[in-house]
Structure 1
C-alpha cells in the first residue's frame, strides 16, 4: 500500500485524486475540465494530488462515460477557388470517419473578406451547441471582439490558414506565411534573367493577414538579395478569378515590361486565362500558391514555374486534433501540428493518384 492507502501497481483513479486532495469528485471534474467556480488553493491541491499519485487522465473513457460528443465548426470564405473547395472536401471526408468517434464536424460559408458578416456569425454561436470553431477569415477589430466574447463563454477558437493573433484565439493552424513569401522571393529572384525585372504581386485583400505576411516576406528577400528586381504595388483580386482576369489587362497596359508574377492568393483561373489569351504564359515567370488540379495543370504546361503549397488534409486533421486537445485541456503535439511549406516544380509534382 502507498502512504495514502492506494494499492501500489494499480493505476490511480479520480477517486484517489479526490481523496488525496480532500475534495469531492465533482470538484476534481471541474478542475480537470477547466470549468470556473473553483478557488485557486483548491485547484493547487488537486494538481498536487495528481502529481503525487502520477494520475494520467483517460480522456476517451471519461468522454464515453459522460456520453460526450464533440461538435466543431469551420467558418470558410464563400469562394469558388479550388483551395477552399479542397478544404471543404477534406472536412466532408473526415466528418464521416469522426462520426464514429463521437465527433461532429461541419462548415459554414461566410462572404469572403467581409469581417462584419464573420463577426455576426461568431456572435450568434452558442457554446452549448458548439465546442470549438476554426476561422478562415480577415483580422479586424470587429472579428477580434467577436472571438474574445465567445472565448469568454468557453468556446475553443482556432485561426485557420490566416492567423488572428490580436484576438484571444487558442492556436493558429497554417503555414508560416512570412516564410512562404520569403520562399517565393528566392524562387522568383533566381528565375528572372540575371535576377532583374519588374514583378507584379497579386493579393486577395489587404485585410487578409496571410496575404500581407506573404507580401512582407517577399519584399524582405527582394530587398536583401535582389536589388535589380522592381516590385509593383499589390493588385487585389479578391480571390475572384473573373475580377482578376478583368484587372490584369489594365496593369499590363501600364507596365508592359512585367517579367514576373507572384500570385500570393487564390483566383488562379483568372490569371491562367489571361496569360494564355495574351500568349504571356511562356514569357512571364509565375510563382503561385496552392497545388490544386488547376494549378498543377498550369505548372505541367509551363504557365506556372513554381507552386508553394500546404496540405489541406493536414490542415483539417490538425485543426480537429487541436480543438479536441483544447476542449479536454490536454497538451498539443507542436511538431505534429506544424504545417509544412511544400514547393513544387514541374519536375517534382506528386503522381496524379495522390490526393491534392
Structure 2
C-alpha cells in the first residue's frame, strides 16, 4: 500500500494538522518540526497526488496571461486563443485573465509582473521583453513559487519554468535557406525588417538568418535592420525609405509582425524590379499577400498550440506534475500560396 498522511504523522510523531500545514507550505510550524515531517516523508517514500487533492478540494487555478497591446495581427490572434482557453476554463477548474501592456515596453511589463505577483496567481504566461529589470521581475515571481511560462519570445537568464514557442534560431535559418534558394544566384543586398531588437525572438531569428546567409549565400549584403515597432504606418515609411535608398535590393526578410506596413510599401513599388520576401505569421494580411505574389513564403507558429501548451505547463507546475516535452514542442510551419490551409474566416 502507498504511504498515507496518517503514516507520516505516526512516523514524525505529530498531528495530522501539522502534516497538512507542512504539505501545503503554510505557516505556524516550527523549523525543527517541519524538518522532522519532511524527513519522515522521505523515509517512508510518501508521494503526494496533488492533482487528486486539488480535485477533492475543488481547487481553482487563477492563471494570468500578460500580452502586448496594439493592433499586431499575430498578437490579437494569440489573444483570441487565450479567450478560447478562458471559455474552457470552468470545465478545467481554471480562471484565466488577461493583462495588456504596451509592446516592447520593458518598464510597463515589469510593473504588470509586479502587480500580478501581488495577487498570488497559480501561474503566469508572458510575452517577454528582454531586459535585466524584466528578468528580475520574473525571478521575484519564481521566488514566491509562482510558475512562469514565457510565450512566443523567451527570456534568457531568468528562472522561468518553460518557453512556449518555436526555435527562433531555426526559424531564421529556415528563412535564409528559402530566400537564398528562391533568389537562385541573383545578386543584390537583403533588407531585414524587425519589430524591435529588444525581444529575444527577433534577435534569435536574425542570428539564424545571418549565419546561413554568411555560410551559404555570401554574395548578399545584409542592410541595416529596420525596426518598425510592428507599427504599420511607421513600417511602411521606413521600408519605403530603405528601398529608395537601396534600389538594387533583391530580398526582404520580415522577421517580426509589421507585415501590413511592409505590404503597403511593396504595393507602392509599381514599376520597380520584384523582391523576394519571406515573412512570419500567417494572418489574413500575409495570406492575401501570398496569393497576390507580394510575399513568397510565410513561416508560421501555431498560436493556439502555444496557448494550450502554456496552460498545460502552468497547470502541471501548480499540481507538481511532470511536463511532457514532446507534447509541448511547437513546430515551424512553412506556407506558400500553393499549400495555404483552408480559410475559415
What TM-score, normalized by structure 1, do the two folds share?
0.88
Q: Which runs of 4+ in 1 moved over 3 A?
A: 11-45, 126-129
Q: 1:19 to 1:293 in 2, by over 3 A?
A: farther
> Could you tell me which residue of structure 2 aligns to residue 98 of structure 1?
89
| 1:43 to partner: Cα distance | 3.2
| 1:239 to partner: Cα distance | 0.8
| 1:98 to partner: Cα distance | 1.5
1:50 aligns with 2:42: no
Q: 1:21 to 1:346 in 2, by over 3 A?
A: farther
Q: Distance in 2 between matches of 1:104 and 1:15?
A: 33
Q: Distance in 1 between matches of 2:228 and 2:271?
A: 19
Q: Distance in 1 between matches of 2:270 and 2:248?
A: 14
> Could you tell me which residue of structure 2 aligns to residue 265 of structure 1?
256
Structure 2 counterpart of 1:329, from 320, 328, 334 = 320
Q: 1:17 to 1:331 in 2, by over 3 A?
A: farther
Unpaired runs of at least 5, structure 2? none
> Could you tell me which residue of structure 2 aligns to residue 3 of structure 1?
none
| 1:45 to partner: Cα distance | 3.7
> Could you tell me which residue of structure 1 aligns to residue 110 of structure 2?
119
Unpaired runs of at least 5, structure 1? 1-5
How many residues align structurally?
341
Structure 2 counterpart of 1:62, from 53, 64, 79 = 53
Give deviations 1:20-49, integer Å, cap 9, x for gaps: 676654565566557787756743541443
Give deviations 1:102-157, integer Å, cap 9, x for gaps: 10111111011110111111122245442211111311011111111222122111
Counting only pairs closer than 5 Å after superposition, residues 68-87 of structure 1 correspond to structure 2 as: 68-87=59-78
Q: 1:198 to 1:32 in 2, by over 3 A?
A: farther
SS in 1 for 2:250: strand
Give deviations 1:300-327, integer Å, cap 9, x for gaps: 2211111111101000000001111111
Q: Is the 8 A contact 2:149 2:160 kept in 1?
A: yes
Q: 1:322 to 1:35 in 2, by over 3 A?
A: farther
Q: Distance in 2 between matches of 1:282 and 1:17?
A: 77
Structure 2 counterpart of 1:306, from 297, 300, 305 = 297
1:287 aligns with 2:278: yes
1:197 aligns with 2:184: no
| 1:196 to partner: Cα distance | 3.5
> Could you tell me which residue of structure 2 aligns to residue 341 of structure 1?
332
Q: 1:41 to 1:223 in 2, by over 3 A?
A: farther
Q: Is the 8 A contact 2:191 2:223 kept in 1?
A: yes
Q: Distance in 1 between matches of 2:216 and 2:70?
A: 36
| 1:338 to partner: Cα distance | 0.8
Q: Is the 8 A contact 1:281 1:302 kept in 2?
A: no
Q: 1:149 to 1:230 in 2, by over 3 A?
A: same
Q: 1:149 to 1:259 in 2, by over 3 A?
A: same
What TM-score, normalized by structure 2, do the two folds share?
0.91
1:184 aligns with 2:175: yes
Q: Distance in 2 between matches of 1:343 and 1:352?
A: 16
Q: Distance in 2 between matches of 1:264 and 1:284?
A: 16
Q: Is the 8 A contact 2:19 2:37 kept in 1?
A: no
How much is the aligned-residue C-alpha RMSD, in angstroms?
2.4
Q: Is the 8 A contact 1:287 1:304 kept in 2?
A: yes
> Could you tell me which residue of structure 1 aligns to residue 238 of structure 2?
247
Give deviations 1:78-113, integer Å, cap 9, x for gaps: 120110010111111121111222101111110111
